[in-house]
Amino acid sequence: MRVARDTHNDYLPELEAVASDEFRLLFERPPQPDALRVGEVLRNTFRFLGIVRAGEAFYVFARLDPYEQAELTEKASSTLKKPEAQDTQTGPRSVTRSRRVVP
């Protein structure tokens, strides 16, 4: 519920919690656990939310909603077509779809 309240988005993501030795369940080429940054988007599919320690460290990822995935894919393809139009911002950006208005 906090995710929905914080993002003002009615879509609640599917969460995945995996140990470092289970990264291959989510990724063909798994990232290095030490290199992950909170908010980072991986493969235009998952956003890294953080680490939960319960005896063992579990890495928590949120699956992006289809609108976010499409927007990131479109942005990546347009960036490849126009290299001079690359975004100069650094760090992860939060992308959300607009809320549906129900009459």
Query: Quick one: tokens of 2?
Result: 């906090």
What pLDDT does 36 receive? 95
What pLDDT does 74 receive? 86
Rounded to two decimals, what is the model's pTM? 0.65
Please state, as a whole number, how many other Cβ atoms lie within 10 Å of the Cβ of residue 19: 12
Q: What is the pLDDT of residues 40-69, one digit of tens each?
A: 999 888 999 999 998 999 999 999 888 888
Query: Quick one: tokens of 96?
Result: 């959300």
CA distance 57 to 76: 32
Q: What is the pLDDT of residues 66-83, one digit of tens each?
A: 888 888 888 888 777 655
Determine the average pLDDT of the residues in 93-102: 59
Q: Which residues pair with 60 in a beta bridge?
A: 17, 50
Q: Are 3 and 53 in contact (CB under 8 A)?
A: no
Place of tokens 């549906």: 100
- Supply the mean pLDDT for the chain: 80
